[in-house]
Amino acid sequence: MGAFCLAGATLSPGRSSSPRDGLSEEGGVVARGRPMPRPRGATDCYDPVVHDAAPATIRSALPIVPPERTAALIAAIRARLPGLRLLTDPVDRESYRRDETAFLEAGLPGAVALPTTTAEVVELVRLAGAHQVPIVPRGAGTGLSGGAAGIEGGLTIAFTQMKRILEIDPANLTVTVQPGIINADLKAAVAEHGLFYPPDPASYEQCSIGGNLGTNAGGLCCVKYGVTRDAVLGLEVVTADGTVLRLGGKNVKDVAGYALMQLFVGSQGTLGIVTEATLRLRPAPPPKLTMLAFFPSLEAAGAAVSAMTARGLGPATLELMDRATIAAVDDWQQLGLDREAAALLLVESDLPGVAAEAELEAAEAACRAAGASFTLRAADPQEADWLRQGRRLAYRALERLGVAHMEDVGVPRSRIPEMLRAIEAISARHGVPIPTFGHAGDGNLHPTLLFGRDDPTAAERDALVRDELYRAAIALGGTVTGEHGIGLARKDYLEVQRGPEVVAVMRRIKAALDPAGILNPGKMV
């Protein structure tokens, strides 16, 4: 049947759910808490392995800085950087404790610095190193992995005051910015030159480029244009010892030396702090043509995605929302969506001229062949905006229903239906609704756990459900995080996914670049 089902799942607080209550094992792919045996053979091509490590709950491994050390650092910063904005009032600091990750244990920063220049960042890093106070670099605080979570007594460096555009270069299709700039502001500024910066996390109106670089953020248009790392041509990075590295530049191709730039992107401030970035632009594509396709089952929607992939369609957007997400969005935005459908796909084309129409027609044919109950086109750009906005607001719509915890698993594209079935089974087993939406064209899904607002068991059940979600993704050859990052929230699962040998190599690199462990310790590795 495969249709999304919330049977047995309610939002009432504290409901005790017996595992596997009313649920057949069909579709269950999770060996609970146990590593899957690894088949080997001639075509042993990345057969999934769930590595042996089974944390039952998420432990917080954040350090705590002795108060006298923090006080000494604050005094030193004030002496050396008298013009720097430095927040030390507890009320001010409190708003830098967490990012947007649900159920996150985080520390209260001892001080929050808001530098305006790279030179100030260098000085801050050197002083923090000298006083052995760890640093947390922070963008707009919209992260969903706890990467910017505060460290008790630590120094958070927030980049909200370093948000200038330093250069737009239309001849080379590049823009150079400071890290604090908001993604949407960057998009708007380059759009005035007829240019386009593709990466577009759903939070693009709030999130900063620095945060996007830290997590190697994705978004809706990754399926066509790639993720943040694909858009980076140059970086300025301050390392743990206060050295300023200038990496890359404006060259499209450059193989001189190791891929340091690629390594820093996605390292969540644990290897260095980005203070400037040169990003790749494209000429602005024409306005998108937009289509919705509704499906009677998740399988049919998955089959349509596969068919589009196999036909070589390269839509600018290929997004999925399941029944529960459709209902939440429609309840809020009154878009008139088909609430009977098990899933919808949002497909968009930004090809020039008649090619866009041809692409959407091919997509429509693929959806119908896969069993779509019906399809509809946006009549005009405004209607297209509404539909796209509906998808972007999915998480906010779900947040209206309770405490929402958005997850971020990824699987090889062919395994999306299996992952959706696994989510369904996990939801039923734990009595936790898990509406799911995401970037179907990339295999990156956002199952979103919902809990009642006063549910005293929420955090505990959240940990259990996430454990099973992660293991299900890994068992399908997937990842615990497609675009949000390991940060603090998924740290215990890095080794489960990658295996101890791989994580050991990551730790060697961390130790080589930050031997004193001053940069965002307790995160990522």
Among 288, 323, 413, 471, binds a copy of itself (CB under 8 A): 413
50 residue type, one letter: V
Place of tokens 């001189």: 256
CA–CA gap between residue 459 and residue 58 (Å, rounded): 10
User: By CB under 8 A, how many residues form the interface with a copy of itself?
Assistant: 106
Among 178, 183, 317, 497, binds a copy of itself (CB under 8 A): 497
CA–CA gap between residue 315 and residue 297 (Å, rounded): 22
CA angle 473/477/481 to nearest 5° reads 50
Among 61, 191, 508, 516, binds a copy of itself (CB under 8 A): 508
Q: Crossing angle, helix 491-498 and helix 458-475, to 10 degrees?
A: 20
Contact positions with a copy of itself (CB under 8 A) in 313-352? 351-352
Contact positions with a copy of itself (CB under 8 A) in 13-42? 42
Q: Which stretch binds a copy of itself (CB under 8 A): 329-337, 425-433, 448-456, 487-495?
A: 487-495
Residue 119 found at the interface with a copy of itself (CB under 8 A): no
Please report, for the chain, how many H helices and E strands are present, in that order. Answer: 16, 18
DSSP code per residue over 207-265: -BHHHHHHHT---TTHHHH--GGGGEEEEEEE-TTSPEEEEE-S-S---SS--HHHHHT
Nearer to a copy of itself, 2 or 218 (CB): 218
Contact positions with a copy of itself (CB under 8 A) in 142-171? 166-167, 169-171
Q: Work out how close the CB of 248 gets to a copy of itself at its nearest, in angstroms, rounded to a whole number.
A: 8
Nearer to a copy of itself, 20 or 246 (CB): 246
Task: Please report which helix (H) or strand (E) contains residue 503, including its range.
Answer: helix 500-513
Q: Which stretch binds a copy of itself (CB under 8 A): 24-32, 100-108, 387-395, 503-511?
A: 503-511
Among 1, 64, 502, 516, binds a copy of itself (CB under 8 A): 502
Among 7, 56, 355, 516, binds a copy of itself (CB under 8 A): 355
Q: Work out how close the CB of 126 gets to a copy of itself at its nearest, in angstroms, rounded to a whole number.
A: 15
Contact positions with a copy of itself (CB under 8 A) in 45-74? 45-46, 48-49
CA dihedral sign, ordered 327, 328, 331, 334:
negative
Contact positions with a copy of itself (CB under 8 A) in 204-223? 215-216, 218, 222-223
CB 416 within 8 A of CB 305: yes
The binding track of 450-479 with respect to a copy of itself, each residue x by CB under 8 A or -, is ---------------------------xxx
Give Cα 512 to chain centroid, integer Å: 27
Enumerate residues 6+ apart whose C-beta is below 8 A from 146: 98, 99, 101, 104, 106, 487, 488, 489, 523
- Parallel, antiparallel or unpaired: strands 111-114 and 155-158: parallel
Nearer to a copy of itself, 13 or 242 (CB): 242
Among 480, 488, 489, 519, binds a copy of itself (CB under 8 A): 480
78 residue type, one letter: R
Q: Work out how close the CB of 41 gets to a copy of itself at its nearest, in angstroms, rounded to a whole number.
A: 10
Enumerate residues 6+ apart whose C-beta is below 8 A from 357: 289, 349
Contact positions with a copy of itself (CB under 8 A) in 254-293? 254-260, 262-263, 265-267, 271, 276, 278, 282-285
Nearer to a copy of itself, 13 or 285 (CB): 285
Among 141, 179, 482, 521, binds a copy of itself (CB under 8 A): 482
Instruction: Give 198-203's long-range contacts (Cβ < 8 A, gap of 24+).
Output: 198/222, 198/224, 198/225, 198/226, 198/231, 198/282, 199/225, 199/226, 199/227, 199/228, 199/231, 201/483, 202/391, 202/392, 202/394, 202/395, 203/142
CA–CA gap between residue 488 and residue 473 (Å, rounded): 19
Q: Work out how close the CB of 473 gets to a copy of itself at its nearest, in angstroms, rounded to a whole number.
A: 9
Contact positions with a copy of itself (CB under 8 A) in 424-443? 439, 442-443
Closest CA to 51 of 508, 501, 462: 501
Residue 184 found at the interface with a copy of itself (CB under 8 A): no
Direct distance between the N- and C-terminal alpha carbons of the chain, in angstroms, rounded to an integer: 41
Nearer to a copy of itself, 17 or 414 (CB): 414
Q: Which stretch binds a copy of itself (CB under 8 A): 5-13, 44-52, 150-158, 376-384?
A: 44-52
- Parallel, antiparallel or unpaired: strands 273-280 and 174-177: antiparallel
Residue 44 found at the interface with a copy of itself (CB under 8 A): yes
Contact positions with a copy of itself (CB under 8 A) in 226-255? 226-227, 229-230, 234, 239, 243-255
Maximal CA-CA distance, the chain? 70
Among 1, 61, 191, 310, binds a copy of itself (CB under 8 A): 310
Nearer to a copy of itself, 324 or 525 (CB): 525
Q: Which residues pair with 347 in a beta bridge?
A: 291, 318
